[in-house]
A and B are shown apart, each in its own frame.
Chain A
Amino acid sequence: MARAFKPAVITANDLLEGDVVYLTADCGWTGDIEEAFVAAEEEVARRMLATAESQHSRVVGAYLAEVSVGSDGRPSPVHFREAFRTRGPSNYFHGKQAEV
């Protein structure tokens, strides 16, 4: 049986900076997962991923990352790898955590 689809965001790395980015509802990119577009259905996710992949001059390596959606509607990562990607490394205060 096919695995049930779980809500997901489309994430990639920025071509110039290498930074982690997320696709927004208007097909732009944001560094903040909370501003990301959440695909609730598989078909939508597939379409948005194709859109992301077509932007190969902006981003690298787009893929779907599962999220849970809070009562406020904002997504947060499910897997620890994705949680690290929203912050940066744990040994130095570098990356996203330092930009906020």
Chain B
Amino acid sequence: MYRYNDFDHDFVRTRVDQFRSQVERRLDGSLTEDEFKPLRLMNGLYLQLHAYMLRIAVPYGTLNGRQMRQFAYIADTWDKGYGHFTTRQNIQFNWPKLKDVPEILDALADVEMHAIQTSGNCIRNVTADHFAGAAADEVEDPRPTAELLRQWSTDHPEFQFLPRKFKIAVSGASEDRAVTRAHDIGLVLKRDDQGNPGYEVIVGGGLGRTPMVGKTIREFLPKADLLPYLEAILQVYNLNGRRDNKYKARIKITVHENGIDKIRAQVEEVFARNRDVFTGPPADLLADIEAAFEPPEFDNTRSATLEEALNSDAILRSFVDTNVAEHKNPAYGIVTVSLKPVGGTPGDATSDQMRVLADLAERYSHDELRVSHEQNIILPHVRRADIPAVHAALREAGLATANIGLVSDIIACPGMDYCALATARSIPVAQEISQRFDELKLEQDIGPLKIKISGCINACGHHHVGHIGILGLDRAGVENYQITLGGDGTETTAIGERVGPGFSAEAIVPAIETVVNTYLAERESPEETFLQAYRRLGAAPFKAALYPDQGVKSHAA
């Protein structure tokens, strides 16, 4: 794993000290809220509906046991004993007190973590495939690239005041688990015909008010050219990006309004100039970073322990079928720990659970953990022979829900239970859906199905790329939920289509049940997934089931 150097340590400590002084000035009345707000936001501190919220960056979702244990300590010492893992691979604490935040930031700095650039119109925490360094289908580990981007973008003088926030995701596998096509920039590691490493560069993707699928701006960019090329994209965006309207300021609008060909031509022109005079991190820095991400020493001893256990333990078998993915080393498995128990809050873990995860990482996963954008925790390198022991420990901690990729593995943003921007609640909808399908005992039969819920149009819950997306809105002072179908966040990214008028809080879960029942009735075979069936059938049968009396207006909110 990448470790901070002296510069990183000093930089983070200095920032904490600076912020401590600013908090003191706020508390003694020297700063007004208008003066203080940008300072706190730059340190990840938001003011939400009921309390402050601290958002902490987990760079590319990778952390070790000590860091996870520190989250548990923070949760117990300054919060309410739990944390919320987000769709940006970050963690949020929902109840910190203003005066305690400098202490929390110090505790984070002790374990090489911080909350810098988790807000504001800057380059945010770079996200990556949560199976990075472990997946069987990986061409190359995306994390060294993500770390290079973190170093390049942190405190970059030109990119601290972009037209709008800027999000970069990196994937290095054939399956896109990082939603690269829904980011401002998506990078996919690949090889050219001669086997040279480089990237497909995607630009202008994004969800939110105006969802867009990113467009390929460069089919193949040699690895060494990455930073000058991205700097060219950022420069073109910084000059062309609109600042007159917040809702039209993201690069997706710049690309949409100018056209990808025009943007590409401009970027190539700036890149040609930049390339020889680039003053950012040198290209050989990437080689140093790559060395820090060398895979752990795997134990290749094959053992029949797991196979024997599977024969006698149906619960373990179900867990392995659902939550264990193929590792690049056949003696290993990737274990996804679901933070979606039936009726639970997606993405939440208690401090006790965090400590269990830290212990398991240290003992069984080469001290590595990952946060997924789907709000689960990954133990990336578990010997298959150790899986029964890991499963037993997870069960004891209430962490062994076998539902990855199934109907109850729901993404939900905090919604109006916490978020000041939300227009409706998300969490109770997720809780009710998981409870309902648990009652129906249909989860395994339904098979792969991604439900994603956002409590406002900003789409933190990725509803546009949910197979079933749910968007919570305020319609004339009442919570109302719109359904989109057919979204997809993988390498075949698609934006879901809205089926029709929204549903009330009471009617939304029955409506989701109707959608699922329609799929079950219409699918050609159990092998045809929800998404495949939707792509074959289109929206018509789902609309007919949801709005049976054609007098659709009677449902309208």
**Interfacial residues, chain A to chain B (CB-CB below 8 A):** 13, 15-20, 56-57, 60-61, 78-81, 84-85, 88-92, 94-96
Contact = CB atoms under 8 A, between A and B. Distances in A.
Select the residue from B29, B49, B98 with max chain A CB neighbours within 10 A.
Answer: B49
A20 B418 CA distance: 12
Select the residue from B50, B94, B99, B478 with max chain A CB neighbours within 10 A.
Answer: B50
Given A57-B29, A80-B479, A16 B47 contact: no
Interface in B93-148: 94-99
Given A80-B477, A89-B94, 8 more contacts: A18-B48, A18-B51, A56-B32, A80-B478, A90-B417, A90-B427, A90-B428, A91-B345
Q: Is the interface of A mostly helix, strand, loop or mixed?
A: loop
Contact of B50 (A16, A56, A89): A89
A88 B428 contact: no
Interface string B337-371: 00000000100000000000000000000000000
Nearest to A56: B32
B416 interface: yes
Given A61-B33, A61-B47, A96-B50, A16 B417 contact: no
Given A13-B47, A16-B97, A20-B50, A91 B417 contact: yes
B47 A91 contact: no
Given A91-B417, A95-B51, A18 B97 contact: yes
- In the A-B complex, list the 6 residue pairs whose CB atoms are closest, starting with the nearest: A89-B417, A18-B51, A18-B52, A57-B29, A95-B50, A91-B345
Contact of A16 (B33, B98, B479): B98
Nearest to A16: B98
Interface residues of B, number: 30
18 contacts: A15-B26, A15-B33, A16-B99, A17-B98, A18-B52, A18-B98, A19-B50, A20-B50, A61-B33, A80-B478, A81-B416, A81-B474, A89-B94, A89-B417, A89-B418, A92-B80, A92-B345, A95-B50
A61 B48 CA distance: 11
B195 to A, nearest CB: 50
A82 to B, nearest CB: 10
Interface of B: 26-27, 29, 32-33, 47-52, 80, 94-99, 345, 416-418, 425, 427-428, 431, 474, 477-479
Contact of A91 (B96, B99, B431): B431
A77 B47 CA distance: 21
Contact of B47 (A18, A80, A89, A90): A18
B381 to A, nearest CB: 33
A80 B479 CA distance: 8
A13 B420 CA distance: 11
A89 B417 CA distance: 4
Contacts of A57: 27, 29
A91 to B, nearest CB: 5
Contact of B49 (A17, A56, A84): A84
Nearest to A62: B33
Contacts of A78: 477
A91 B416 CA distance: 11
A32 to B, nearest CB: 14
A17 B33 contact: no
A88 B49 CA distance: 8
B47 A60 contact: yes
Contacts of A96: 50
A17 B95 CA distance: 9
A88 B478 CA distance: 18
Contacts of B425: 84, 90
A91 B427 contact: yes
A77 B478 CA distance: 13
Contacts of B94: 89, 94
Nearest to B98: A16
A61 B99 CA distance: 18
